[in-house]
Amino acid sequence: MLNKYDIAVVGAGIVGAATALTLKRRYPSKKIVLLEKEQMCAQHQTGRNSGVIHAGVYYPAGSLKAKLCREGLTQTIEFCQRNNIPYQQCGKLIVATSDLEQHRLHDLYSRCVENDLNPIRLSQQQLKQHEPDVKGKEAILIKQTGITDYSTICRSLIDRFQQLGGGVMYGFNLRKIIQHTNSVDLFAAKQILNTGFLVNCTGLMTDRVAKAFGLELDFKIIPFKGEYFRLPKKYNDTFKHLIYPVPDPNLPFLGVHLTKMIDGSVTVGPNAVLAMAREGYSKTAFNLKDFTDTLSFAGFWRLLSQHKTSVIDELKNSWSKQGYLNQVHKYCEQILIDELLPFRSGVRAQAVDNNGEMIHDFKFASSELSFHVCNAPSPAATSALPIAEEIVRNIAQKLE
């Protein structure tokens, strides 16, 4: 017999998990299921990120990212406190190492002020007092930034969803969708189910699921791998804050940073290398369908023509450990090449539009029977709870 649900949320990363829970709280009597193709949650972006609870430094005032990141900072910390999940508000230093970066740092400072973050400006001397092992011309300190483990948060969201009666199906790889007047059939290899409404939170696969639903898309997901290294234990107490370079304002990536992880270790990374597989994590990971998809997209070639130099530099530094390390040496000289130890990588789902522009803000799309999270890059782990509220607010009329 066909399993019937009122709402199916597809994708058990942090956005899908938060959405399923928020929907179940709002509609306790509706039959809601969370579908995930892997055998457990958080296997892709959510379990492979830096673990930073962002404060909202970089995002233009008025953007969804600025709003939902600020709300997400508070809600993530509250969620951790209520559920005994470790977190730490260690603060973040953004360090300028050249005149150009100083200029950009001043713009970032103004943006922090616009976003009500009370940033603290540090001179070269003050920077040395705060972080003796970091060098730079000037820095800003954002005290609110923190760290946590998003896989643990994701599992906890799903536990709470299940406690309220929500259903979870792992190993359900949504491959085909057939729409009827008031419901849709969802097909995996060996299962079919029927739902009144679908919410697509499939991260790296979101454009494919939206397309399978019949939506006309003006973007495609281009995967960017983020490779990390771990530092030896002796560095665990070296840095008091997260140490970030000043990012290039034209790119949505933050630059290789030193991140204190919630287990006490320190990682270096991530870079941003164009990936040949959406869910491939080794250096040579290749998937013909994914790569063909990228190469056949005109927007990709437009993007490449605009960012050729940085795409090539990132690729070079990915293959050259010294090149990678040079990015860190700009603000911290003491790390040696042999101290870059292996660590997992992640792949970012970055929506790029037909004109070759990276879409910076969160982006959603909808139809009568569906809602799609089209672009949820960083800080979407921080912002997952308010993103979920935004989704529920958007679809409320359709569900009632």
Q: What is the DSSP letter of 103?
A: H
Among 24, 44, 160, 360, binds ligand FAD (CB under 6 A): 44
Our CB check for ligand FAD shows the closer of 95 and 380 to be 380
* Neighbour-count burial of 182, counting CB atoms closer than 10 A to its CB (0-12 exposed, 13-18 middle, 19+ buried): exposed
Answer for the pair 57, 37: CB distance below 8 angstroms, yes or no: no
Regarding 277 and contact with ligand FAD (CB under 6 A), the answer is no
Q: Phi then psi for 353, rounded to 5 degrees?
A: -85, 175
- Binding of ligand FAD by 80 (CB under 6 A): no
- 50 near ligand FAD, judged by CB under 6 A: yes
Report the residue closest to ligand FAD, judged by CB. Answer: 13
Neighbours of 351 (CB within 10 A): 25
* Residue of the chain from 5, 20, 24, 48 that contacts ligand FAD (CB under 6 A): 48
Nearby residues of 234 by Cβ (< 8 Å), 6 or more positions away: none
Contact flag: residue 89 with ligand FAD (CB under 6 A): no
- Between 286 and 315, how does the x/- string for binding to ligand FAD read (CB under 6 A)? ------------------------------
Minimal distance, residue 45 CB to ligand FAD, in Å: 3
Shortest Å, Cβ 35 to ligand FAD: 5
Per-residue string for binding with ligand FAD, 113-152, x by CB under 6 A? ----------------------------------------
In contact, 108 and 51? CB cutoff 8 Å: no
Q: Cα-flanking dihedrals φ and ψ of residue 37, to 5°?
A: -75, -25
Show the binding pattern over residues 222-241: x = contacts ligand FAD (CB under 6 A), - = does not: ----x---------------
Tell me whether residue 11 or residue 166 sits nearer to ligand FAD (CB atom).
Answer: 11
Binding-site size for ligand FAD (CB under 6 A) equals 42
**Closest to ligand FAD by CB, 137 or 143:** 143
Please answer whether residues 197 and 399 qualify as being in contact, where contact means their C-beta atoms are separated by less than 8 angstroms: yes
Q: How far is the CB of 174 from ligand FAD (least distance, A)?
A: 4
Backbone angles phi, psi at 334, to 5 degrees: -80, -15
Nearest to ligand FAD of 96, 168 (CB atom)? 168
Residue 13 as a binder of ligand FAD (CB under 6 A): the answer is: yes
**What tokens were used for 277?**
């597989």
Question: Mask 24-43, x = binds ligand FAD (CB under 6 A)?
Answer: -----------xxxx----x
* Rg of the chain (C-alpha set): 21
Write b or e for each residue in 266-287: b if 16 or more Cβ atoms lie within 10 A of its Cβ, otherwise e. Answer: bbbbbbbbbbbbbbbeeeebee
Mark 245-274 with x for binding to ligand FAD (rule: CB under 6 A) and - for no binding: -------------------------x----
Q: Strands (DSSP E) along 16-67, which ranges?
A: 32-36, 52-53
Which residue's CB is nearer to ligand FAD, number 79 or number 138? 79
Token pair for residue 75? 């809600």
In the chain, the amino acid numbered 11 is G
**What does the angle CA 370 – CA 70 – CA 35 come to, to the nearest 5 degrees?**
30
3 bridge partner residues = 193
Rounded CA-CA distance 333/84 in Å is 37
Q: Check binding of 382 to ligand FAD (CB under 6 A).
A: yes
Report in angstroms how near the CB of residue 169 gets to ligand FAD at its nearest: 9
Element (H, E) at 179: strand 176-179
Residues that bind ligand FAD (CB under 6 A): 10-16, 35-38, 43-46, 48-52, 54, 172-174, 201-205, 209, 226, 270, 346-348, 376-382
